[in-house]
Amino acid sequence: MAAATCKRGHPRTAETTYTDAQGDLRCRPCARQVKADQRASSQKRPPRIREKRAAADLSWAVDAACRGEDINLFFGPDGEHQTAKEAREDKAREICHVCPIRRECAEYALTAPERDGFWGGLNEDERTSERRRRTRRANAA
């Protein structure tokens, strides 16, 4: 003889029960609650609201030595071979070396932070290393 209620106390009637694929008697209200709980736990968390950063003042860039140069020299294609990347960055580095605003450009890229491209004479890896160095120095102080 079947129990009059399910484990959670719902009455077992023809309307509130069903037989699952394995032949077991199931409670409809419990099944609905399990599905609702699964949906709620699988939903993505709302995106974090990031504080809007004030637009950077890039007025210094008007004096950049790279103005008018091919942008692809400073931003390589995805999947670029290492030798091609090194040759491209060497050319970019030559331009940056004589640039009157190289320091401002590098500082902008380090604090923005710009993840891609060649900025202020520094490639992505060099900027990452510099950020880490600055963080270590700040933490040591």
Please report the sign of the dihedral spanned by the C-alpha atoms of residue 99, residue 100, residue 103, residue 109: negative
Task: Burial-class residue 59 by CB neighbours within 10 Å (0-12, 13-18, 19+).
Answer: exposed
Instruction: Give yes or no for a contact between 124 and 116, defined as CB atoms under 8 angstroms apart.
Output: yes
CA distance 64 to 100: 7
Say if residue 96 carries a ligand binding annotation.
yes
CA distance 40 to 48: 18
Say if residue 30 carries a ligand binding annotation.
no
Say if residue 6 carries a ligand binding annotation.
no
Say if residue 99 carries a ligand binding annotation.
yes
Instruction: Give yes or no for a contact between 104 and 58, defined as CB atoms under 8 angstroms apart.
Output: no
Residues in binding site: 66, 96, 99, 105
Residues in binding site for [4Fe-4S] cluster: 66, 96, 99, 105
